[in-house]
Structure 1
Amino acid sequence: MTASTQKIVEKNIESIVQITTPYGSGSGFLIGELIVTNSHVVSGLKEVLISTKTLPKSIGNVVYDDAAYDLAFIRSPEPIGANIPLKLSSSPINDGDGVIAIGHPYGLNYSTTEGIISRASRMQGEVEYIQFDAAINPGNSGGPLLNEEGEVIGVNTFIIQNSNNLGFALPYYTLQEALEQFLALHDGDIIRCISCKNLIQEPTIQNDYCPKCGVKLDVAKRRREGYKPSGVVALVEKIMGSLGINVTLSRRSQRSWRFETPTTRIDINYYDNGIVIADSALCRIPQENIEPLYDYLLHENSALENLQFSINENTVFLSYIVVDSSLTEHYGLSALRRLYEGAPHYHKLLIQEFKALEPKFDEFE
């Protein structure tokens, strides 16, 4: 990364947003008081999780969903960082111009790549895009494409799979037009009809049909129905709710959750093989006096009910493991409560009594 690119990233990083839904994750960026992203990132939901370097994970409201241009606007419940939005470019886009893409590919926070514009205007169907060669991947969607002055020239929207860095961004002038049309309505809950391209106020939609041209609005149906978990996923979330855990803020995907205890965190994952694992990383084993620690863990394992200690590499976990067919609300609630209450206790004990080390967590929260 060049020095000039580093300065651009440092200046704008607080305005880059990570967006999470039960269906996946993506990126966004602040323009004015709105977070800009792709329609496919918000997945037809009215509420999504948003977070930045200065804004803890929060519930953002999707106030504009535009499947025609793959755009969406989100309002944050609180100001983001210093609330310094990115600036849209007003300069011509030319082949060969240098570009910078910032986003969260595969959940890897604030990844930055550089490249050039391969084609300033490339039509895909009825929509015009910027083609560029800066490497982007799933999770970059919705992030900004910047010029060498740090201005937004596009919204990173899609890549061609199995290609050598073929990325496409919706140009800033299309975004600018959509922003102006949306703000002129002085309202939220707006959908753009994918057929007639009119902006439709959601309360005027009946039976999910566009009141202007009569076409079926799939996004209206998805927004009306919202996310509805079922089966074991619904049971896990019901158990979490019974413990007073904010399920919406805990979702990392349809089958993965993370929440905090007073001093640790707990991850729950439901795997394709039918196993549900809830665990908490308590500590790392010390380099000295390991045997007393092992003896203690073995002794406690024989007395624990529903829970068990395990060691993965050098990290000690306290876990609840159950097959989905055996998970019930009663026993699941009992086990998860023990894990929620026991993890902080054992975390403190192992560090104080056995000189264990604090666990290390990756940065991708």
Structure 2
Amino acid sequence: MNLATQKMVERTIESIVQVTTPYGSGSGFVCEGIIVTNSHVVGGLKEVLISTETLPKTIGTVVYDDPAYDLAFIRSPLPLVCEHPLALSLEQVHDGDSVIAIGHPYGLNYSTTEGIVSKAARLQGEVEYIQFDAAINPGNSGGPLLNENTEVIGVNTFIIQNSNNLGFALPAYLLHEALGQFKAERAENVIRCVSCKNLIREETIRNDYCPKCGTKLEVAKRRREGYKPTGVVALVETILENLGINVTLSRRSQRSWRSETGATRIDINYYDNGIVIADSPLCRIPQENINELYDFLLAENGLLQRLQFSINENTIFLSYIVVDSSLTLRHGSEALEKLYREAPRYQKLLIERFKALEPKYDEFE
């Protein structure tokens, strides 16, 4: 990436949004005061997690869901302040035009790729898409496709699997059209019927059927039902709620949660083998005082109940490990309450007494 392109990209970062649901994560961008993403990214939910470089992770409301164009609009409860807001380009796109794709592939923050337009108008079903060769991956969906002036020419929507960088973006003119139609409705819960293409206000829907043409509206059903965890997942979330943890904000996927207590991070994961692991990366092993540190950890492990210290590579963890069939509301609540209470204390102690190093966190969110 040349210096000029890099500077242009840096100006857009503040407008790029990460969107997270129990089903996965994707991208979005701020445009005309609202967050634009794909319908398949929000997964039919009314509430999703959103965050930007300047906006802390918060709960956004999906006010428009359009499975026909695979578009969704999200309203943020906090101001979306962008010094250099993204603008739509309604100029004609040509084969060979240079493009830039920005997003969060696989949850990695702010990944940028360059390429060219392979086909300016490629018909897929009833919709024309921009075909381009800038590399995009799962997680890029919903992010912007930019021209050389960092104007939005499309919304990155899908790729063809096992292809050599075949990406497709919904053209900006269709996004512009959808934004105009949505604003004209002057309502906050609007969906587009995939059959008649009319915009429908949710309050007019009965039994999940389109009031205009009678088509079954699957997106209306998903929005009405919402996300409902079951079994062990529901039990874990009940425990977290009882501990005062905002489950929606901490949920990373259907089986993964992350939250902070002070400067200490705690992850909970429920694995396919039936093991539930809640752990906190406290610190990294120092180059000195290692024997004294190990003696301390072994002694503490002999005293701790339900929790234990472990070391993975050079990171010290405080963990609660349980088989799903043994997890109960009472014991799980006691263990997790202890983990949230003791992890910050032990982190401070290990860093101060043994000169342990601050933990390094990965950038997957």
Aligned to 2:185: 185
> What does residue 53 of structure 2 align with?
53
2:260, 2:204 → 1: CA distance? Answer: 41
- What is the alpha-carbon distance in structure 1 between the residues aligned to residue 7 and residue 284 of structure 2? 37
Provide the rounded CA distance (Å) in 2 between the counterparts of 1:144 and 1:128: 17
Q: Distance in 2 between matches of 1:75 and 1:47?
A: 10
Q: Which residue of 2 aligns with 1:237?
A: 237
Shift of 1:80: 2.1
Structure 1: give runs of 5+ residues left out of the alignment.
none
Q: Which residue of the partner structure matches residue 140 of structure 2? A: 140
The CA deviation string for residues 60-86 of structure 1, in whole angstroms up to 9 with x for no partner, is: 000000000000000111112336431
CA contact 2:17–2:51 (8 Å) conserved in 1? yes
1:151: which partner in 2? 151
Which residue is equivalent to 1:297?
297
**Please, what is the CA RMSD of the aligned residues?**
0.8
List aligned pairs for 1:97-176, cutoff 5 A.
Answer: 97-176=97-176
- Distance in structure 1 (CA, Å) of the matches to 2:49 and 2:65: 16
Read off the aligned partner of 2:342 and give its amino acid letter: G
Match of 2:349 in 1: 349
Q: Which amino acid aligns with 2:264?
A: T
Distance 1:83 1:38 in 2: 24
- Partner of 2:270 in structure 1? 270
2:19–2:26 contact (8 Å) kept in structure 1: yes
Q: Partners of 1:216 and 1:306 in 2: how far apart?
A: 50
Counterpart of 1:224 in structure 2 is 224
User: What percentage of residue pairs aligned between the two structures are identical?
Assistant: 77
Aligned AA (2:210): C
Aligned to 1:157, the other structure's residue is in SS state strand
- Offset of residue 355 of structure 1: 1.0
Q: Deviations over 1:87-109 (max 9, x none)?
A: 00021100000000000000011
- Cα drift, residue 143 of structure 1: 0.2
**Residues 121 and 131, structure 2, Cα contact 8 Å, conserved in 1:** yes
| 2: CA distance, partners of 1:84 / 1:341 | 42
Q: Is the Cα–Cα contact under 8 Å of residues 52 and 80 in structure 1 kept in the other structure?
A: no
Corresponding residue for 1:94? Answer: 94
1:92-130 Cα offsets, whole Å, 9 max, x none, are: 100000000000000011000000000000000101000
Q: Does 1:10 align with 2:10?
A: yes
Tell me which residue corresponds to 1:361. Answer: 361
**With structure 2 as the length reference, what TM-score do the two structures score?**
0.99
The equivalent residue for 2:322 is 322
Q: TM-score, normalised by structure 1?
A: 0.99
Which amino acid in 2 is paired with 1:151? Answer: E
Query: 1:45, 1:222 within 8 Å by CA — same for their partners in 2?
Result: yes
Shift of the alpha carbon at 1:364?
A: 2.9
Instruction: Tell me the distance in 1 between the aligned counterparts of 2:343 and 2:315.
Output: 14
Query: Does structure 1 retain, via aligned residues, the 8 Å contact 2:11–2:84?
Result: no
How far apart in 1 are the matches of 2:59 and 2:215? 31
Which amino acid is the alignment partner of residue 116 of structure 2? Answer: I
The CA distance in 2 between the partners of 1:358 and 1:23, in whole Å, is: 32
Cα distance in 2 for residues equivalent to 1:177 and 1:202 = 20
Inter-partner Cα distance in structure 1 for 2:129 and 2:336: 49
Q: Distance in 2 between matches of 1:199 and 1:105?
A: 31
Q: 1:104, 1:358 → 2: CA distance?
A: 26
